[in-house]
Amino acid sequence: MKSENLEPIKVIICDDHVLYRAGVKTALSTKPDVKVIAEADNGVHLLNLIKNLTPDVILLDIQMPIMDGVATLPEIKKICPQAKVIMLTMLEDNSMITRLMEIGANSYLTKTSDSEVIYEAIKTCMEQEYFFNAMTNKAFLNNLRNRTPGTSGGGNSPEVALNDKETTILRLMCEEKSTKEIADIVELSPRTVEAIRDKLKVKTGSKTTAGLIMYAVKHKIIEEI
């Protein structure tokens, strides 16, 4: 199991709406394990900031003047590849969600998400690389439906035999359950759940958790959303 991180998670908020930034910053200030270290109002401003700062997580608005979030995301990955990027938007756009997740986004939230969801996304991205929700899962499913066989971003891995425990854990991952929650449900230790998750990646040919989710929707391991 991972040891407790004594340092707070360093967050930068990039959004052109001052009131939205202020609201998120105020909400996150109540969390002792998260610290907002800077704010930016467009992509150019953000990229200049991260040349000198090392954020753990960036909350990135998609629609901004001068340089929007879509153009900024690949540049973040060049300058600060270790940073987790959570995209923020007012729109639920399936094609946009899958496109951004494929080029490096770690999560995708609507700006109507409450502060607890944002906090959960920050924590989960740090611990598990990605934060999935019903919106991202639906986008992946729709994306797979619209692609021709063999072109899925989840890879061309054939269906493999998963035992009941592996199938249950994969399904629970798709339902946004944390490692601890999954461990409690299947009555295993969190360390064992992590080991099974790693084994699932090997068996399905998935490099990341995102790849596992894509595999799950492609092979109908999760119900249609």
Residue where a domain terminates, one of 75, 104, 131: 131
Inside any domain, residue 115: yes
- Are residues 15 and 121 both part of a single domain? yes
Read off the pLDDT band of 146 (50, 70, 90).
Answer: low
Domain count within the chain: 2
| Cα separations in angstroms, 197 against 18, 83, 107, 192 | 40, 22, 19, 9
Helix (H) or strand (E) holding 107: strand 107-110
Q: Which pLDDT belongs to residue 133? A: 77
Q: Are residues 14 and 110 in the same domain?
A: yes
Provide the CATH number for the domain around residue 120. Answer: 3.40.50.2300
Among 49-63, 98-112, 158-172, 192-206, the range with the most confident prediction by mean pLDDT is 49-63
Which domain, by its residues, includes 75? Answer: 9-131
Which residues, including other chains, have CB under 8 Å from residue 77's CB and lie 6 or more apart? 85, 103, 104
CATH number at residue 169: 1.10.10.10
129: left (phi over 0), alpha (psi -120 to 50) or beta: left
Condensed to tens digits (0 to 9), the pLDDT of residues 99-142 reads: 888 788 988 898 988 899 999 999 989 987 888 777 777 777 66
Q: Is position 46 within any domain?
A: yes
The answer as to whether 225 is a domain residue is no
Q: At what angle do helices 94-102 and 134-146 cross, to 10 degrees?
A: 90
pLDDT in tens, 26-84: 999 999 999 999 999 999 999 999 999 999 999 999 999 999 999 999 999 999 999 99
Residues 25 and 87 in one domain: yes
pLDDT, position 155: 45
